[in-house]
Amino acid sequence: MLWLCVLALFSTDIFSAEHTARVLTRIFYALFGGIYGHGFGLVHYLIRKSAHFMSYGLLSTFAFFSWRATLPAPRPWSFRWFELALLLTLLAASLDEFHQTFVSSRTGNFRDVVLDMTGALFFQLVVAFWLGGAKARPNQ
């Protein structure tokens, strides 16, 4: 629940591209003496999109372990937990983008939901391999 609140905060004007660009410009200036023009735009874009991938991947991981604690099973990995984690992540990502359509400095974008779900699926596959779930059959 706490991570959902963090994601909701990320969806506000405070974390709009304009605001993150200001902060990132200062960081780059302090570390490297600055980066400008197209180079900065590309780095800024990649950082923002990486944040989508990572933050929703983390959400799906938290969801997986929450479902695992809520719906126990005799094995360390279950396809049910995997599915529920991805479903919750899809719902959160979709609502996040819908919310952004009401924030003047933000835009809702279906491609961001796809990116969020790509991060969630990647993190879920890491969890599955880590816990040995790759050996489990999908009907478990």
**Which positions of the chain have pLDDT values less than 70?**
34, 133-140
Quote the CA–CA distance of 4 and 59 in Å, as a whole number: 7
Closest-CA residue to 113 (of 84, 90, 132, 88): 90
Q: What is the pLDDT of residues 25-35, one digit of tens each?
A: 888 788 877 67
Q: What is the pLDDT of residues 107-124, one digit of tens each?
A: 889 999 999 999 999 999
Q: What is the pTM of this model?
A: 0.83
Quote the CA–CA distance of 67 and 89 in Å, as a whole number: 12
